[in-house]
Amino acid sequence: MRTIIVDDEKLSRSVLKLLLEKHCPAVNIVAICADGISALEAIEKYQPDLLFLDVEMPGLNGFEVLRACKDASFSIIVTTSYDHYALDAIRHNALDYLLKPIIREDLVEAVEKAMQRKRQKEQSGEKTDSLMEFLHQHLYPGERLALPSPEGLRMLLVKDILYCVADGESTIIHLVNTTVKPSVCRSLKEVEGLLKNKGFFRVHHSYLVNLNYMDRYIKGDGGDIIMSDGSCIPVSRQRKQEFMERIEKL
């Protein structure tokens, strides 16, 4: 499991890293961050399966980091020296809550929960994946998407997709000329993969836009895109250069 450790205390970061390396061989630590800003950058870059997150940090605290991750499909294990954050951790859908100093047995149990959740997600997708693959390859090649929804499968014309917005482990699809905004049971990253090379670009960790419906770009730190329906979509600072290079080729 791709794992990120976020803690402003150097000793806490080192101890957790050692415990994971020694007792949790399935964990692959891809980044260790000392503050919330670098955590957000690492999350966007590595798309982790598991996040160990301290609460009290300078700048952005742990819960502010989670509020910024609208498309969080990873498991969250809160690590803190204080027990009064438990309710907030639950409200932010944390998988587990570990008090420092972290006990080995509690850590191993929490990681096993994360592994089990990952397996369940993968297995739940298998039943619809084969049907969707058939539909994509044989019935709707390059024209439609067949995506799982809470009701079953949703068929969407690619040309009608204006932009997509992350909503936890689901994605909300904004369509052209309609107020209907279907929600599909796929992460924004998965939807992005299906729309690859179809005129779409991930301008932000929470937004995937159809560049054919871009009306104009407004300069800024990252900038903003005004879509044909008047929607204002932010461009992340990290993706701005790639975005500018892309639109130059349109």
Q: Please report the pLDDT score of residue 94 as a whole number.
A: 87
User: CA–CA separation, 152 vs 172, rounded Å?
Assistant: 15
Q: Please report the pLDDT score of residue 133 as a whole number.
A: 52
Q: Please report the pLDDT score of residue 223 as a whole number.
A: 93
Give the pTM. 0.53
User: CA–CA separation, 187 vs 92, rounded Å?
Assistant: 18
How confident is the prediction along the chain (250 residues), in pLDDT tens digits per residue? 999 999 999 999 999 999 999 999 999 999 999 999 899 889 988 989 999 999 999 888 998 888 887 657 799 999 998 878 877 777 777 889 999 999 999 999 999 999 998 887 776 555 445 545 554 444 444 577 778 888 777 888 888 999 999 988 889 999 998 888 999 888 899 899 888 888 999 999 999 999 999 999 999 889 999 999 999 999 999 999 999 998 887 7
Q: Please report the pLDDT score of residue 123 as a whole number.
A: 67
User: CA–CA separation, 147 vs 125, rounded Å?
Assistant: 11
Q: Is residue 70 packed enough to be buried (19+ CB in 10 Å), middle (13-18) or exposed (0-12)?
A: middle
Q: Please report the pLDDT score of residue 109 as a whole number.
A: 94
User: CA–CA separation, 225 vs 235, rounded Å?
Assistant: 7
Q: Please report the pLDDT score of residue 140 as a whole number.
A: 45
Nearest to 183 by CA among 214, 219, 152, 222: 152
Cis omega (within 30 of 0) for bond into 58: no
Q: Please report the pLDDT score of residue 73 as a whole number.
A: 79
User: Beta strand 152-157 with 144-149: parallel, antiparallel or unpaired?
Assistant: antiparallel
Domains of the chain with CATH codes: 2-120 (3.40.50.2300), 143-248 (2.40.50.1020)
Cα angle 248, 44, 73; round to 5: 125
